[in-house]
A and B are shown apart, each in its own frame.
Chain A
Amino acid sequence: MGKTINISPITRIEGHASIVIQLDDEGNVADSRVHTMSLRGFEKFTEGKPAEELPRIVSRICGICPWHHHMASNKAVDRCFDVTPPPAGRKLRELMQIISHAEDKLLHFFFLAAADFVIGPDSDYAVRNIVGIAKANPELAVKVVNMRQMAKSILEKFAGKAIHPVAGVTGGFAKPLLEQDRVEMLAKMREILEFAQFTIHFAKTQVFPKYLDVIKTLGVITTGFIGTVDDQGALNLFDGQIRLMKPDATYTDFDVQDYADYISEHVEAYSYGKMPYAKCWNEGFSLDLENPKGIYRANCLARINVADKMATPLAQAELEEFREQFGRPAQATLLYHWARLIEEVYACERAIELLQDPEITDTHIRAKVEPKAGRGVGCVEAPRGTLIHDYTTDKNGLITNVNLIVGSTHNIGPINMSVNQAARTLIKNGKIDEGILNKVEMAVRAYDP
């Protein structure tokens, strides 16, 4: 065996992982693995806790997408206790969740991903980051920071806590939206929508065209996709049917309560994180690059692939342009960056729609709740993928069983494939340099894990 390359930690991602590449005697790639390093045991230590407390505990799975865990959890508990939130309570939940989507995508694009494109994949790591971007383009940096902060401030001002939120409660929402707050939020969201449009235009004219060759080759694999759609087949980030699409674009829609009939999780000896796969395809599990089995991807590219359309006009126009160029389903991994910016436009438009809904300021926001025995599956589309919380409660409403399929885990298998593909393509005859290894990591960063 030849040399071992240990890329640790994978940087400018939101979790803990490393890449180990094993070279053969000729210096070509014999094998590669992506290790997910963290195991905290939420499924265990939530046992025995009052179910209504879970939305405030499981939010700590992720400090970047706590609103999504918070909402999926609230939905699961509602079902365990057999309660339906009043319309305004439901809409306030969606409003908070969609604004956090809008904030998250700006964070990922500018703070984590952009340096590879704006500064360049082969540039010195000391400047290939947000600090480098801020020095090279201070005006843009100020705008980015202010816009993201504006979205964050909406969440914090209205809901108290923006990181690890508490305002979603069993049966609905903790506080009503007042008219003056609605007007203020609407003005801010309009400004953020303008910035979302600027961002996708900037990316389409000044970023992506320079890297089309890289986009078409780096980390490209062929898989199925998962996402959520409404009853019209349009992308929905908060609620709807789960759509599981095969690589040939045929798909099955199902109710998330039945998710266990469609998805299983495979365990590999080199990763604490499990690897979900499509059990319902009856082909088993394999990460083989030529002949993968059961492998589908989640997150923004998956969602815009499975959706027939976008429910809002500006995002729909962006989707049409994207599809014309890349088809459906688009498989190129770096297109996640593009898809993310289409979803950013949708998130802003949807927030504005909700804020213009006369029902959103209704003060009946929380239904009466009695703890009881039950089971419930709660699901939302988190930034990193279809997020599933499955709870069972006893007669006192205490948790007896929890199963979690967290958004980013859907992509652990595919990330391994993309890294393998990138490493095999880029590393030949023992030649490696920092730029090559960074490009291997770019195949991970696209997934925003």
Chain B
Amino acid sequence: MSVTIASEWLNSCSGCEISIVDMGARLLDTLALVDFVHIPVLIDHKYFGQLGDREHIDIPEATVGIISGGIRNEEHLEVAMEMRKKCRIIIALGTCATHGGIPALSNSYTNEEIFDTYYATPTTDPPAGIPTEGIPPLLDSCYALDEKIKVDICLPGCPPHSDQIFTALTGLLKGEPAILPCKSVCDTCPTIRKGKGQLNAVKRFLQAPDYDRVDAPLEEMRCLLEQGFLCMGPVTRAGCGGDNILPRCISARVPCRGCYGPVRHEGNQLLDMLNALASNGIQISTLPETNSFLRFSGAHGRLRPTRQQKEA
């Protein structure tokens, strides 16, 4: 019997699903071995029956349930709970599912503040009210999956590299659990590090980093953090380069912003980065703001509105 898979996307951008498609030829091999019973981006299975006449969301039973995106509204919550009920193993795919991802930046604001801005931009006609008819109400925050349902396997990344998705899926087919490296981006970055104490400020990414020749490999470029650029490599989980190992942003000569989330699942990228900078004698005040250290991991209550915002 083939392995059945159900897949859902919640508060997400579909980048994780594209990363599945980016398995390329391996996707066709995988499709031959598994049976997708529900995946809205590819297959027309419907929540309320194929004639749209049932009352409750129904997803078929499956061995593996893949969920991308965090939980931001009541429908996301209902779908996530239905997936948990129907699937033996739940994979949280991508950093939105594991840590909230970029959309969890909204956790610094109340829903009212978000509506007040979105429905009052200069080109928006003043609405009679905030839309509510037939659309799911927002929850008070953007949640990672494991805040609402039990998750069996976390595959972070924005998006997770196709190599890791393939490894995880084929591992499941063989009954082997996916084991992801618990290392930092720096542990897999080949740039030259000379050590502490030569820097007291970090700068914004407004100029090109230094390296000798245009075709110099990363091994010949000085670490971007040591060049004075903010780089989240020390506090970010490795793996973005897939089987090729090299961190993807650094390969483009651009510093890391933390898209794989914290090195340990329960880590805090903001605290860890403040520590890393302070222990190197770097003044944080040289940066205009530090909330962005949680750019990818603002769920789990890490980002939240202030009391004044809530009372306003």
- A178's partner among B9, B19, B214, B292 (CB-CB below 8 A) is B214
A15 at the interface (CB under 8 A from B): yes
**What's the minimum C-beta distance from B26 to chain A, rounded to whole angstroms?**
9
Q: B104: nearest residue on chain A (CB-CB)? A: A45
Whether B254 lies near A169 (C-beta < 8 A) is: yes
CA distance A390 to B21 in the complex (A): 32
Contacts of B72 in A (CB 8 A): 40
Given contacts A35-B135, A164-B15, A167-B254, contact A371 B204 (CB under 8 A): yes
Whether B288 lies near A398 (C-beta < 8 A) is: yes
- A53's partner among B46, B52, B118, B292 (CB-CB below 8 A) is B292
1/0 per residue B37-70: CB within 8 Å of A? Answer: 0001111111110111100000000000000000
Q: A393-422: which residues lie under 8 A (CB-CB) from chain B?
A: 396-398, 403, 405
Whether B19 lies near A163 (C-beta < 8 A) is: yes
CA distance A265 to B158 in the complex (A): 31
Contacts of A433 in B (CB 8 A): 51
1/0 per residue B1-43: CB within 8 Å of A? Answer: 0000000010111111111011011011001000010001111
Segment from B119-127, B182-190, B274-282 that makes contact with A: B119-127
**What's the minimum C-beta distance from A427 to chain B, rounded to whole angstroms?**
12
**What's the minimum C-beta distance from A361 to chain B, rounded to whole angstroms?**
9
Whether A149 lies near B42 (C-beta < 8 A) is: no
Given contacts A44-B109, A45-B109, contact A434 B50 (CB under 8 A): yes
Whether B206 lies near A149 (C-beta < 8 A) is: no
Whether A63 lies near B17 (C-beta < 8 A) is: yes
A328 at the interface (CB under 8 A from B): no
Chain B, interface size category, equals 35 or more
Whether A272 lies near B248 (C-beta < 8 A) is: no
- B249's partner among A41, A60, A148, A161 (CB-CB below 8 A) is A161
Chain A, interface size category, equals 35 or more
A20 at the interface (CB under 8 A from B): yes
Contacts of A259 in B (CB 8 A): 123
Whether B24 lies near A44 (C-beta < 8 A) is: no
CA distance A106 to B31 in the complex (A): 19
1/0 per residue A1-15: CB within 8 Å of B? Answer: 001011111011111
- A12's partner among B41, B47, B108 (CB-CB below 8 A) is B41
**What's the minimum C-beta distance from A111 to chain B, rounded to whole angstroms?**
7
Whether A166 lies near B15 (C-beta < 8 A) is: no
A287 at the interface (CB under 8 A from B): no
CA distance A35 to B105 in the complex (A): 24
**What's the minimum C-beta distance from A116 to chain B, rounded to whole angstroms?**
10
Whether A265 lies near B45 (C-beta < 8 A) is: no
Given contacts A131-B42, A369-B206, A405-B123, contact A63 B16 (CB under 8 A): yes
B289 at the interface (CB under 8 A from A): yes
Given contacts A14-B41, A131-B31, contact A41 B109 (CB under 8 A): yes
Contacts of B117 in A (CB 8 A): 41, 43-44, 47
Contacts of B195 in A (CB 8 A): none
Specify the main secondary structure of chain B where it touches its partner: loop
- B131's partner among A130, A265, A270, A432 (CB-CB below 8 A) is A270
CA distance A41 to B72 in the complex (A): 11
Given contacts A166-B254, A260-B122, contact A63 B46 (CB under 8 A): no
A182 at the interface (CB under 8 A from B): no
A52 at the interface (CB under 8 A from B): yes
**What's the minimum C-beta distance from A192 to chain B, rounded to whole angstroms?**
14
- A40's partner among B106, B125, B136, B206 (CB-CB below 8 A) is B106
CA distance A174 to B135 in the complex (A): 41
Given contacts A40-B106, A370-B206, contact A63 B14 (CB under 8 A): yes
Q: Which 8 A-B pairs have the closest CB atoms?
A: A63-B15, A160-B252, A267-B127, A149-B24, A41-B114, A63-B13, A45-B105, A125-B44
Q: A52-B206, A370-B206, A441-B44 are in contact. List 7 more A-B contacts (CB 8 A).
A: A6-B48, A18-B134, A60-B15, A60-B103, A63-B159, A398-B289, A437-B51
Q: Which residues of B contact A (CB under 8 A)?
A: 9, 11-19, 21-22, 24-25, 27-28, 31, 36, 40-48, 50-53, 72-73, 75, 101-103, 105-106, 108-109, 113-114, 117-119, 121-125, 127-129, 131-136, 138, 158-159, 204-208, 214-215, 240, 248-254, 257, 259, 288-289, 291-292, 295
Q: Which residues of A contact B (CB under 8 A)?
A: 3, 5-9, 11-16, 18, 20-21, 33, 35-41, 43-50, 52-53, 56-57, 60-64, 66, 107, 111-112, 125-126, 128-131, 134, 141-142, 145-146, 148-149, 152, 156, 159-164, 166-167, 169-171, 174-176, 178, 259-260, 263-272, 274, 276, 285, 363, 366, 368-371, 390, 396-398, 403, 405, 432-434, 437-438, 441
